[in-house]
Structure formats: C-alpha cells, structure tokens
Chain A
Amino acid sequence: MSADKKWNSGADAADDDDDDTRDETEFQAMKDATLFAIEVSNSMIAPPSEEDGDVDTGGSKKKKNKKPRYSSAEAALRCAEAVLKNRIISTPNDMMGILLFGTEQTRYGEGSSNISYPNCYLLMDLDIPDAPSIKELKYLLDNPEELSEILKPSKKPASMANVLFAANHLFTTKAANFNSRRLFIITDNDNPETDKSSRSSAQTRARDLYDLGVRIEPFFISSLTRQFDKTLFYTDIIYDAGEDTTENLPDTEAAAKETDAETRYEQMLSAITAKQAPRRALFTSKMEIGKGFVIGIKGYLLHKRVAPSRSHYIHEQGEKLQIVKGSTVRMVEETAQEVTPDQIRKAFKFGGETVTFSEEEFKQMRNFGEPVLRILGFKPQSELQFWHNMRSSMFIYPSEEDFTGSTRTFAALRNKLLKDKLMGVAWFISRRNAAPVMAAVLPSAEPHGMSIIPLPFVDDIRQNPEVPHVVAPNQLIDRMQDVIRQLHMPKGYIPEKYPNPVLQKHYKVLEAIALEEELPEEFEDKTEPKYKNIEKHAGQYIRDWGDALSQAMAEFKLTKPAQVEIHGTKRGRDSGSAAAAKKAKKDVDSGPGDADKEIRAAYDKNTLNKLTVAVLKDWLNSKGMSVAGKKADLVERIEEHFENK
C-alpha cells in the first residue's frame, strides 16, 4: 500500500505543492482501529417479545411484519457488518474487530498462549477487514443455527476485567501506533460486576485502556421495564478523552428505549454510524477575533470527495496473490547515474535554465506568518456571491485545549452572526507555511459551529466568454417558470439521497468478486433525474415552453433579419436537427479505434510529440494508464506501452 504514494510521486518530477491534496494525506495518516465488544447473555439473545411490540404499536401504527426481528445481540452483529462494509469504502486502511463476551465458547486468536480470556469469543480479529472474514460473518448471519451456537451464553457472565484486558491485548498487538483506538461496548447489563474486588480490577483495566489511549464508547440498551443506569458501573470506567470538549458531547449511548426490534436495530445502527468515523481534526489553530484577542479552534472537513480506490499491480504467478511494489529510481538523464537524495536540488525553470534556492529559502518564500484565522471585520452574508467558491469549506469548532473560554466566546460570535445574517471576512493560514487565503466565515446552524469558505483571489477569476446578448421575452420566461415550479424540491439538496454511482458500482463489483458472488446485472444510478415524474408533472409545461420559444424566435428573426443562419436548437420537437447535430459531432470526435490507430501511427513515425496533450491523455485514459506529468512523461509512457507490446 505504501507503494501507492511512491508511484504517484514518481510519476511526476515536478513536485506537487497542492495544499488540498496535502490536507488529505495528513488526514488519512490518522488511522483508526475499532473493536466491537458485544455482550452475550440471555437477555441479549432473547427475541423481542410480542408484548413489547404490541405495547409500542399502540402509539404508532407503522409496524411492518415483513421485517425480521433481531435479538439485541444479532442486531449488534448486523450493525457491525454494516459498519464493516461501509468502512472498506470510506476508510480502507482502518482496522476493525468483533469480540463477543459472556459466551459459553472461548476463542481467542493466536499469540495469546500465556493469557486466557475465558468466555470471550473473538469473532473477528482486529485487522484491516478482508473478504474471508466478511464472508464468515455473512454466513453466520444467514445461518441462525450456527449463529445461536456461538451466541450461547455462559453460565456465569464474563469478567469485565478480562474483557477489557483482552481488548487491551488486541489493541497493543494488532493496532500498535494507531492514533485512534476505540472500544465499542454493546450491552444491556448496567451492573456487570457486583463483587468489590472484581469491580476494582475492571476499573484498573479500564484505566489501563485509558493510559493506552483507547477510548471506550458504550452503546447501552435499555428495556421497557428497566432504564439503563450507567452510574452503577460504567461511569467508573469511562474517561473524558480530553481531546475535544467532550464533556459537552451529546449523549454517547444509544438510548434504545424502544423495544420494537426493528427500531432498536435502526437506532443502534444510527448511533453507531454517527460514531463510526472518529472525528479527525484537520488543524488546530487560533482565531483572532480582534487585535490581541485570540481563541482556540479546531478545523474539520465535513465533506470531501471520495474517489474509488486506486488500482494496484498484482503478481499472480506466485503461491498467493501479491501487491506489486513499485519503486522509483532517480537517475541523471544524461549519464544514467543514480541520484542520491542529498544530490537533489529543487529549482524553478526560468528563461531556459534553473533558478535554485536552498531548502530553507523554499520554506521561507511560502511563509506568511503563523497559522491563524484572523477576522478582519464583518459583512452581510449577502455579499458572498454564489460563485465565490474554490474548494470544500472547512468546519470550525472551538477548542479549550489552548485557551480556556474559547467555547463561550465562539458561541457568542456565532449567535451574533446568525442573528444578523453576517459573516466574518478573514485572512486564513491553516498550517505552518500553508498558502494564505481570504475566507468568508459563516455561522453554521447545524452542526453548531462555523464554516470557512476560501474565496478566490483576483488571479483566480477567469474572464467571461463572449456570447451575444439576447434576453428572452417575459412571456417565454413565464412558461419556464411554470416548468420550474413543477419540478420544485422544497427540501433542497440532500446529499444522502445521491450516492456516487461510480463508487457504488466500483465497490459492488469488487465486493462481488471478492466474496465470490454473482456480478450485479443491473445497477441503479440514483443521480439520474426521475424522468417519469418529470414527464408527469412538467411534460405539458415543457411543450408549452417549446411553443413559446418558437414564437419568440419568429418574432426575434423579424426584428433582426440580418442575423445569419440560425442553427438548429437541439430541442426535442426538432428531433431531425437534433439528430443531425449529434451526428455531426460524432464525425469530429473520432471513435476509440481511430485514436488507437492514430497513436500507433504516431508512435511508429516517432511523432508522438506532435500530438496535443489532450489527445495523449485521452488515449492513456482509455488504456487506464496514468495521465500525470508533463507532455514528455506522457509520450514516454506511451512509448513504453508500445515497446512492451
């Protein structure tokens, strides 16, 4: 996996100073290991009783009989499975494991010869998930008998000290040096150790986990008859992690009061999903509200493009599949001598030669002072134009780590900005030597906090293309308004409704191949417009608009007779011209076969250099090869391709 980075950086001699990508690599360097510890007891494996369900449905009549009714333990396992599959996509380098405790059987991975953990069943070892373990989990969930065999409770419950020590051992041996290590405890037992000495040893073991940097995240299940009381045991083993203002966090535990099984599963899932990604700060910095008046903040990325995992080269000849590691050797172009790192100098090309600076100077030239979010003043939010956008925004939240009183001050500022619809205008340096930007600081209603929106500089603003100015007559605008009204989505854009079809397909296929399942035949793309609805609600209005457009054009031609030939608009009514237009386009845009021939011919004639970068890139793209680097790199890559053929 470490080969990825080498490949990428090796592909391009010019080093990428892109802040954006740097943010993201730093971000990913924070690895997380999550261990699910699920209690197995008679109450945890009991199917939700009918009575409970009835009591509940008395209020809400939404019970669906079709849905399976899971026991708490099974629901927890299903949650774990869902989280597992999700993580493979979103954070493929994170570890996960599942430990059952209170089981009759005892199973613990290898490497524990000298210690035993009775009544602990390590269902999935703490590791980066792989296909076999997912398959095993799936199999269990599909085969109730085998599942119930494993989920058989022991006569007496497992010792909590043991459970915590087992977790300690797993985190120590499997997830050494992970920045984030979390233990999710799912249980309905609020008072597991009544005996004083075993209580004490559980408390000691919990303290060990705290000193190891493992954070305990409990998910408590209450029943109708009994409310889970965490003060009986759990507040003695859970620590304030201190990294954020966690004392102020919303309730960690899933208050699964509902006994209706499906709601319980869904509640548990949403509670766990909410916690599944550890909050990783992008930066810790200062916000300078006024001269000499500074508070502490942390920055987060709340949305960031997720790209499909990159492909690897694989060696299939050996006994087992192996990822091929690529390494780049740097050589002097003329002499082909290998270059050692201390011989490398970074330089700018200028006037056909190079202009060199020392390492120190390279840092210095980018240095515009200490990292800070310095508020210059305030403007109404309406001053922020829609197009004033360069990249994802960053979310900031106060931190008491460096400055006490930051939270209240930040909250007061946010209140004021929300109330008067104001925004801060700020000079922003996110990290040491990061490029300073101007930013709009907007209050965020949900989640509570503020957003930093980096603004364009004058250098980033492109000029408008030239287009003749023709304004549609009111009557045509009115028809368009009718169309828009029909297709109104009053709730706005809800990202959750639009999964990225490329990612979804990518992982569906990978999953199918990895788990040896059938490849999905049809694939639903939720980003496609809902055509049926559009036709049903707006079809007639679009036709009306079309008529109005023809009329408007007729009038327009009368007033502007000198206008040269009117090209056919590709509007549906004019299907003839639309088709013609499309055909015309195809002629220009030669098919893939032609491109192949063209490139091949150019290669044979040694004229690849004469082709444009766009053509080269298109071709490389079509071969799934990297398009990084300069033109010379592209040409080289293509030559290499044909040489090896």
Chain B
Amino acid sequence: MADKQATVYVVDLGASMGSYNAGRAETDLDYVVRYLWDRITTTVSNGRKTDTISVVGFRTDGSDNSLVQNDENYENISILSPMSQFLMPQIRGLKELLEPSTTNQGDGVSALVVALDIIEKYCKRLKYIRNIVFLTNGTGDFNFEGINDIIEQIKEQKINLTVLGVDFDDSEFGIQEKGKSPAKAGNEGALKQLCDRCDGMYGTIAEAIEEIQRPRTKKTRPIHSFRGCLSIGNESVNPMSTLLIDVERFPRTMVARPPAASSFALTPEQGPVDGSLQKIRNTRTFQIEDEGAPGKAVDIDREDMAKGYLYGRTIVPISVEDQEVVKFNTEASLKVVGFIPKSGFERSICVSNSNIIVASKANDEAIMALSSFIHALYELDSLAIGRLVTKDDKPPVMIAIAPIIEPEFECLVEVQLPFAEDMRQYKFAPLDGVKTITGKVLDKHRFIPTQELQEAMDDYVDSMNLMNLEGLNDPLLPFAQPEDVFSPVFHRIQQVIRTRAIAPDDDSLPGISPVLLNYSTAPLGLDPEEDLDRLKKAADVCLVPTKAKGKKIGRDKPLSGLDVGKLLEERIKSRRIDKNNPVPEFRQMIASVEHREEIQLLVQQMGDIIKDIIRCSVADLQYGQAIECLRVMREDCITFEAFEFYDLFIRELKSFTEADRRDFWSRVRKDKLGLVLPSEDSRSTSTVEESNKLYYGR
C-alpha cells in the first residue's frame, strides 16, 4: 500500500477572482479551478481511503474556521470541505461553493495557517505525506508578519507547499504579466520567497495546467510473482553437482488496464437522468434439456451435478478419484533446460509479458551467484531456456531468459515461449517467387517487386529513419521509445470519467488530449515526400472497387479455366431449383437472370424450399440448413438489388413460423436475417424500429 496522504487546497475566492484577465475567456477562478479539479479527481479515481483532501477558501463572504473565534485575523476564511476521503458528495458540495465572493477582504497567509492547523489536527504525529496547495491571483492582502514561525512549522511537519498563481511571472516558462500592480508584484515576490525558504514549489498556473495535460503514470510497488530456486541439474539425484540460486521474480511489463465498466440496473420508476443506479446481483440456475418439459428444459439441483469434460462430442464424467489423476502436480521451481544462441532467437515467438528475475535480496551469496550467471550469459551472447512453475500445482511454462546489465542494477528478464500445441501450422506462399499450376517458378510476376519498385522502397525506408528524432513527450528519450509513449485508452477513459464526474450534465465527451495522439501519425521532421511519390508510382497500388468484390469477378472458373457456365446452361434454363441442391442452384440462377421478375420467382421457389425444410425438421435439426438458405438468399437479393422480394418473403416467413415454429424465428433474429436495412441497401426505407418490430413481434 502506498503511504497515507493528506492534502489541503487553499483557494482564493475573492471577488477579483471573478474577473477576466489576459484575454482569457474564463474567469481567474475558473482557470484555477481547472487545475484544482484535475488534482482532486485524480485522487478520487484512485479510490483510496487514506488519501484525504480538505479545501479552504479565503476572501470568502463569511468566515468558517476554528481559529476565527479568538482572532479576527482569520475572518473571511472558510473551510469548504473538512479533511476526508473525497467522494462524489464532496465533489458536488465543493462545486457549489467554488464561486467568487463579493469581497476582497481576507488574509492569504492566515488561510495558510488555517491549512496548517487542519493538517496538524488531522495527521497528528502519524506517518503522512502532507501537502498544501495554494491557489491565488495574488491581488488580495497577504500579511507576512510572523511568517518565520509559519516556515518553521512547514519545515518541521515536512509539508510540501505548492503555490500557484494566476499570471505570476515566470521567466523560465515565459510569462511576464503586463501592467502588473505593485501590490501583486509584491505578493508574488513574498510568496516566492516563502516557497524558497521551505523547499516549496512556486509557479504560474499556466505551467501547472500545461503539466496536467501530460498523463501521470502510476507507480506500482513491485510484488514478487515467484520465489524459489533457479536450478541447473537434479538436486535429489546429484546434490553435489546441482547449481541452485535463490531468486525472486517480478513483473517487468504488465498491461495497465483502464477502469472497467460494471453493469447496473435502472429502477423501473426512475428515468435515466437520475444517475442513481442499482447494484446487480447474478444468480445462477442450472438446467438440462427435457423434450417433455415446458420450455424444453428443467431446472436441476446442484447436488445432482457432477463434473466432467467433453472429448469431442462425448461427455466424459470425471469422478472425484479421477480428478486427482487428471491433475498435473508441480512444485514451484525454475529449472534451466539449456542455453541457446541469442542470434538465432526469433523475437516473434514470445507469447507473454516480461518479468525480471533477481536474486533474493537478503542473500549475498545468491546475488553473487546470479551475477555470474547474468554476466556469463551476456558474454556468451546466449539466452537460457527454462521451465518455470510459479507456485505449487500451477502449470509449467517454458521461458527464454536474457541478461540485463545496467550501471547499478543487473537482473535476468524472462518471456514465455509457446509449447508444441500452441503453434498454428499455417502455410504462406513465399513472397520471392510464384509457382504456376504446372509447377514452374516465376521470378517475374505482378506479385514480385520489380527492380524499380525495390529501389524506390529502399530509398523510402532510408528516408524514414527515426534514429535521429527525439521523443515527442520527453525530448531526452529517443523517438517512440516505450518510456515516451502513453497508453491512449488507459488515459482517455480516465480523462472521460473524471470530466463526467465533475460535470454530469454535460452530455458530450471531451476531445482526446493531444498528448495521447502524439504517436498516431508519422513524425514531422522527416522529409520522405519525393521518395514516397516515386514509391507510389513504382508500386501502382489500386483500390479494388467494392462492387467488384461482391461478385467475385473472374474467379468463377476452375483452375483449368474450363467454361462451367456452358455446362450449367441447361439447369439454369429450367428455372427450377432442386431442393436437394438449393444453395448452389439459387446462386447460379440468380446470377444469370435478365429480368427482375425472374428473381421474384426464384425467391418464391427458394422460400418454398425453406418452409419445406422447416416443416420437415425433426425438432431443430434442420434449422441450420434453412438458415443457410435464408442467408444466401438475403445476401444475393442485396447483391442483385432486389431486397424487396426478400423483405416480402421474410414477413411471410414470420407468420409461417408463428404457429409452432417460433424457435426458428428466434434463430432468424439471432442471425439478423430480418428486413434489409438502409445500411445494407440505401434504397431500403425500413427503420430499425420496424425491423425490431418484426423480430420481436411487439
């Protein structure tokens, strides 16, 4: 667990915060609050009870703090939110209070004291990270009398003080306010001095807001996923010649997943506006098929169930004793199987995230032993192959192990490898030669690059060299180095949630933060234009028109090029679809029709066959066949621009199934074989509602 944290935000709410400055379209307060909400929602989203927040306003209309009773210096300072974990009610409460007041009275330094007081009372002497964030436009009164005591206190309690001001001068960031009042200039100076003296942060709000655009990365404390022995040899047989090193394994890479959405229920009485959603609880029931029972299924009790597996279609029950036999028993271990040359290792074979392996940290001998392993691997340019079991009775995995040697750190890094069963034996034709039907190998073909194309490609690739570019997020890193790339979905979803949380009524999503799109397009700063033009010309890549794709033009001949169409002529002329061969014959005939009416006839015939199949089906055995006919008919009707006939038929089919084949209709619905929608043929006028009405009959 991360350390406990307490943060007090001190916000200037003086009347002057309501003014518009430096040509901004928002008030000073709105400007500052953008930063405030970002900080607060970031804290809320981590959901930790021990990360607490309090908000203090100064130059407020009233006074609400514990010090004001004894000292009028604390007037016009209000605690907007006492120290607590921030949840939605606090957010809503605070939102209402963040309005500029009607006064400019109230001492900023006293507000700081109030914040100190809150922290002192809340954290006592306990271990906390203590923060005060002070936000102001610096135009109000700041009474710096007694500031030395305050500084002492900040230092003593180890409070991290951050002061951020609207239009505060910052030469490094490049902000210099024009026509600054002497009072503000004085306050700025004094606040800067204050920060300098207690190691605080001082800056202009514009910089802070720019800073929050950059996604923050969360540090996860390393947690070991395996502890055990790295071994070479069999300890139980050859104890004298077995190498054993105590090691621990930690993740090196691990997908940072965005928060997952859960399902909730709307209460029937409430509209969706209300936001109060009900928790859902899943209850499981178990059923088996029973032809006789209503709904063709009966519920069964848990006691009547045994465990088993499927072997093909066969159900194989496994008794409790057999379950022990099925189980594959293992012991946590990391056994080295052998060593392989690094040069021939195929990177694409790795199937998992990566983990690092270090020696047990309290064990100097293990550290030294592993160091020799790491360096020897490195010097021999080899990888180790290992068999890893992370915990007793976990399945073993094969891993490739490589050394990493950094100036003050060395370790092994490991990635999982596939087993024999994990390999898919797909065949792909070679890209450097084309074999004809007769077995001749061609080296000139439209699939093989010409010399001109190859040269153009070589030059283009050379012009797109990324090695001289710097990182787009951190210029100190190389371009597109993983350390410089933020996970777009991870940060996007968090951004969207936080924005919606503080503005639930805003019904549009904020734009994607540009930082997340930095690496979505080819970098500027390369000049490939000329080479690219040449490459485009040499490659002559053409888009295949959509129409041509559907109709499979030129592919309807067998490899020999025989004109099968001739053979089919007689069959097509008959215009009768054989019910034993409906799909091919329908396809062949519809492709050869000359008049639209003929399509209607074909659809009718096919429809009769479909109804026949359904009628004769034993239970649902032949439904699949009928569905296939229906699908082919639908596809072809769309392709040949005759969807009206299909729509007519499907309505007819609906009433046909109404009697005792309703289960067929649910298949139609599942396979979405209903009315043709405008998205499928632009001439269609069916709406989604109509389509649903047909599907659900409501």
Contact = CB atoms under 8 A, between A and B. Distances in A.
Contacts of A326: 284-287
A383 B242 CA distance: 36
Interface residues of B, number: 249
Contacts of B558: 203, 206-207, 210, 235-239
Interface string B293-311: 0000100101111111111
Contact of A492 (B314, B340, B432, B482): B340
Contacts of B259: 348-349
B638 to A, nearest CB: 17
Given A293-B536, A374-B521, A465-B361, A492 B341 contact: yes
A303 B233 contact: no
A395 B279 contact: no
A569 B504 CA distance: 59
A414 B431 contact: yes
B320 to A, nearest CB: 10
Interface in B523-547: 523, 526, 528, 532, 535-536, 539-544
B4 interface: no
B453 to A, nearest CB: 5
B364 A350 contact: no
B301 to A, nearest CB: 9
Given A250-B427, A293-B532, A362-B261, A375 B284 contact: no
A166 to B, nearest CB: 11
A209 B558 CA distance: 12
Interface in B7-48: 44-45, 47
A502 B253 contact: no
Given A204-B571, A404-B541, A542-B243, A376 B523 contact: yes
Interface string B216-239: 011110101000010011110111
Given A529-B336, A569-B366, A572-B243, A458 B520 contact: no
Contacts of B262: 13-15, 346-349
A190 B310 CA distance: 40
B233 A534 contact: yes
A245 B369 CA distance: 54
A245 B596 CA distance: 34
A21 B485 CA distance: 24
Contacts of A459: 215, 217-218, 256, 486-487, 490-491
Given A211-B583, A248-B429, A404-B542, A539 B233 contact: yes
B373 interface: yes
Contacts of A173: 622, 625
B557 A327 contact: no
B363 A567 contact: yes
A489 B351 contact: no
A29 interface: no
Contact of B315 (A206, A314, A435): A314
Contacts of B369: 472, 549, 569, 571
Interface stretch (A47-55, A509-517, A596-604, A605-613): A509-517
A465 B496 CA distance: 33
B557 A239 contact: yes
A500 interface: yes
Contacts of A366: 489, 492-493
Contacts of B380: 481, 484-485
A416 B461 contact: yes
A386 B427 contact: no
A624 interface: yes
B281 A331 contact: yes
A514 B240 CA distance: 45
B532 A291 contact: yes
A208 B232 contact: no
Most chain A CB within a 10 A radius of its CB, from B215, B306, B588: B306
B254 A572 contact: no
B641 interface: no
Most chain A CB within a 10 A radius of its CB, from B217, B253, B532: B253
State the main secondary structure of chain A at its contact with B: mixed
A232 to B, nearest CB: 10
Contacts of A456: 253, 353, 482
B349 interface: yes
Contact of B306 (A1, A249, A313, A383): A313
A476 B347 contact: no
A457 B353 CA distance: 12
B114 interface: no
B49 to A, nearest CB: 10
Nearest to B540: A405
A509 B326 contact: yes
Nearest to A347: B264
Interface in B339-379: 339-341, 344-354, 356, 358-369, 371-373, 375-377, 379
B688 interface: no
A139 interface: no
A377 B375 contact: no
Interface stretch (B117-125, B142-150, B244-252): B244-252
A377 B523 contact: yes
A570 interface: yes
B1 interface: no
Given A206-B558, A231-B560, A458-B485, A352 B88 contact: yes
Nearest to B365: A569
B173 interface: no
Interface string A405-416: 111111111111
Contacts of A408: 446-450, 453, 539
Interface stretch (A35-43, A71-79, A444-452): A444-452
Interface string A96-133: 00000000000000000011000000000001111110
Given A248-B434, A328-B284, A386-B415, A470 B368 contact: yes
B387 interface: yes
A257 interface: no
A88 B220 contact: no
A267 B304 CA distance: 49
Interface in A177-202: 177, 200
A15 B487 contact: no
B311 to A, nearest CB: 4
A89 B423 CA distance: 13
Interface stretch (B183-191, B203-211, B463-471, B650-658): B463-471
Nearest to B429: A248
A354 interface: yes
Most chain B CB within a 10 A radius of its CB, from A17, A169, A380: A17
Contact of A466 (B361, B446, B490): B361
A15 B275 contact: no
Interface string A453-465: 1011111111111
B428 A177 contact: no
Interface string A270-295: 00011111010000000001111111
B678 interface: no
A462 B437 contact: no
B378 to A, nearest CB: 9
B464 A377 contact: yes
Interface stretch (A57-65, A152-160, A304-312): A304-312
Nearest to A506: B326
Contacts of B88: 350-353
Contact of B519 (A376, A444, A530): A376
A479 B235 CA distance: 19
B62 interface: no
A31 to B, nearest CB: 11
B543 to A, nearest CB: 6
Contact of A457 (B434, B490, B500): B490
Most chain B CB within a 10 A radius of its CB, from A165, A291, A351, A384: A351
B422 interface: yes
Given A365-B509, A462-B222, A510-B311, A489 B425 contact: no
A148 interface: no
6 contacts: A248-B447, A353-B88, A387-B413, A389-B415, A458-B484, A480-B372
- The 3 A-B residue pairs with the shortest CB-CB distance, nearest first, are A176-B624, A451-B348, A480-B376
